[in-house]
Amino acid sequence: MSTSPITEIIPLFTDQDGVIRCGNSRVTLDTVVAAFNEGATPEEIAHQYPAVSLADVYSVIGYYLPHSEEVTAYLTKRQRQSEQVRQENERRFSPQGVRERLRARQK
């Protein structure tokens, strides 16, 4: 019996905003990797995010483990972008006095 390599498609896609998502869902690679790194099992992740199948979670983690350097670089880039957006929003919409303004609206 001869063996041939098995090619498996990793269930990851990049949306129009450059965000990598898992399976046919809106669950991000960031979310799955963070849950896994916090100790969640693939079963727990699939249970917490039912839009992603258990098989897809296993495939994504199976991809992440040997490609952790490039995934970490992507996650670091996403964190920087998130921080930039947060800072820009805080410049545009100051969080100072929000609590007081909300309480004044209640009265």
Q: What is the CATH number of the domain that holds 37?
A: 1.10.10.10
Please state at what angle helix 68-92 crosses helix 54-64, rounded to 10 degrees. 100
Determine, yes or no, domain membership for 76: yes
The per-residue pLDDT for 14 is 96
Examine the pLDDT at 86 and tell me if it is beyond 80: yes
User: Which amino acid, 10?
Assistant: I
How far is 63 from 83, CA to CA, in rounded Å?
27
pLDDT band, very low/low/confident/very high, at 71 (cuts 50, 70, 90): very high
pLDDT band, very low/low/confident/very high, at 1 (cuts 50, 70, 90): low
Three-class DSSP category at 2: coil
Domain of residue 71, residue span: 12-106
State the average pLDDT over residues 32-46.
98
The per-residue pLDDT for 63 is 97
State the average pLDDT over residues 65-92.
94
The per-residue pLDDT for 95 is 73
Determine, yes or no, domain membership for 1: no
What b/e string do you get for 14-30 counting C-beta neighbours within 10 Å, with b at 16 or more? eeeeeebbbbebebbbb
State the average pLDDT over residues 76-87.
94
How far is 97 from 93, CA to CA, in rounded Å?
11
Determine, yes or no, domain membership for 88: yes
- The tally of domains found in the chain comes to 1
Three-class DSSP category at 28: strand
